[in-house]
């Protein structure tokens, strides 16, 4: 396994098991140097909490990037998650240029929507900026809602394989290179991941748990990044990330008081075994 240096850019929710507090431990456990660039600091995540504090760190990002450039600090890979504003997307695109290496991999989770709706903080302007970021990436990891916003494709709660093929085709036509589309389920008790690369579409089906949990998208994306940078191809990394996420959810299922995230930490030894790192 080669030792990679990856920069992940997203917010810090101090409590809540999502974003950077998920990405840093998971990618590090996969054996990579994990550098963080916080887009904002929140006291908790925004799902199920009220009165949370937020400090936007947009103004700090250009100076951090410039300092890294001065020091000759660059990265094998970039992984972006939740970004707070269109301005931050401009900064991220600049970081790709300033702090990347010749073959740096750019992985974007366009975390902005679910269930057919944008998150409350975002609007059409943000969607347009996210299109610029997503279609400049090497790999994107949208859910179905995000893919629809990126393409203008009709969102459907009920769909078939032809609909998913059309949605992925629309992403490709708009400039997406490799697509890992999450949350794709054709039966009530299953869900899965579609991977599109070089004209080939693959599907990995796994069980769908009854209890939904906050932060599983971040767990999935972080595990995908960790596996992919360990030399797994996109399909293998997508499978490992899915299995790890389901296992993290199962390890949380018997604790009804743990409503704010998943106990991904308890499944890290299993992730290491999946990657043959033990």
Cα separation, 191 vs 183, whole angstroms: 6
Residue 223: phi, psi to the nearest 5? -65, -40
What pLDDT does 210 receive? 82
Contact 75, 92 (CB under 8 A): no
Residue 278 — pLDDT band, cuts 50, 70, 90?
low
What six digits make up the tokens of 55?
A: 């400090």
136 C-beta neighbours (distance < 10 Å), count:
16
Mean pLDDT, range 188-214, rounded to an integer: 93
Contact 196, 181 (CB under 8 A): yes
The enclosing H or E element of 197 equals: strand 190-197
Q: Residue 1 above 60 pLDDT?
A: no
Residue 211 backbone zone (phi > 0: left; psi -120 to 50: alpha; other: beta): beta
Contact 244, 271 (CB under 8 A): yes
CATH number of this structure's domain 5-274: 3.40.1190.20
**Distance from the first to the final alpha carbon of the chain:** 12
For the entire predicted model, the pTM comes to 0.97
- pLDDT tens digits along 79-138: 999 998 999 999 999 999 999 999 999 999 999 999 999 998 899 999 999 999 999 999
What pLDDT does 211 receive? 81
Cα separation, 152 vs 154, whole angstroms: 6
- pLDDT tens digits along 29-75: 999 999 999 999 999 998 888 899 999 999 999 999 999 999 999 99
DSSP letter at 59 equals G
Q: What average pLDDT does the structure give for the chain? A: 96
Percentage above 70 pLDDT, the chain = 99
Residue 212 — pLDDT band, cuts 50, 70, 90?
confident
CA dihedral 169, 173, 175, 178 (to 10 degrees): 20
Cα separation, 232 vs 227, whole angstroms: 6
> Could you tell me the residue ranges of all domains in the chain?
5-274
What pLDDT does 277 receive? 87
DSSP letter at 136 equals T
- Beta-carbon contacts of 216 under 8 Å, excluding residues fewer than 6 positions away, are 245, 248, 249, 262
């Amino acid at each position: 396994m080669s030792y990679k240096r990856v920069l992940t850019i997203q917010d810090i929710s101090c409590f809540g098991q999502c974003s950077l507090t998920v990405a840093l431990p998971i990618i590090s456990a996969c054996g990579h140097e994990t550098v963080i660039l916080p887009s904002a600091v929140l006291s908790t995540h925004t799902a199920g909490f009220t009165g949370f504090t937020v400090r936007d760190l947009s103004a700090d990002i250009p100076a951090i990037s410039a300092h890294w450039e001065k020091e000759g600090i660059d990265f094998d890979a970039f992984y972006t998650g939740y970004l707070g504003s269109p301005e931050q997307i401009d900064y991220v695109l600049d970081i790709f240029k300033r702090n990347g290496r010749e073959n740096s991999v750019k992985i974007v989770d366009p975390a902005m929507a679910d269930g057919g709706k944008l998150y409350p903080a975002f609007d059409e302007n943000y969607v347009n900026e996210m299109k610029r970021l997503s279609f400049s990436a090497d790999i994107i990891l949208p859910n179905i809602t995000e893919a629809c916003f990126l393409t203008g494709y009709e969102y459907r709660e009920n769909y078939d394989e032809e609909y998913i093929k059309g949605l992925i085709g629309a992403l490709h036509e708009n400039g997406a290179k490799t697509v890992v589309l999450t949350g794709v389920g054709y039966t009530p008790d299953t869900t899965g991941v579609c991977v599109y690369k070089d004209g080939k579409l693959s599907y990995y089906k796994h069980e769908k748990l009854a209890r939904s949990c906050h932060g599983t998208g971040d767990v999935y994306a972080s595990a995908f990044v960790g596996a992919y940078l360990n030399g797994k191809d996109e399909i293998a990394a997508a499978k490992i990330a899915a299995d790890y996420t389901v296992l993290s959810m199962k390890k949380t299922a018997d604790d009804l008081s743990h409503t704010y995230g998943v106990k991904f930490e308890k499944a890290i030894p299993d992730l290491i075994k999946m990657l043959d790192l033990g």
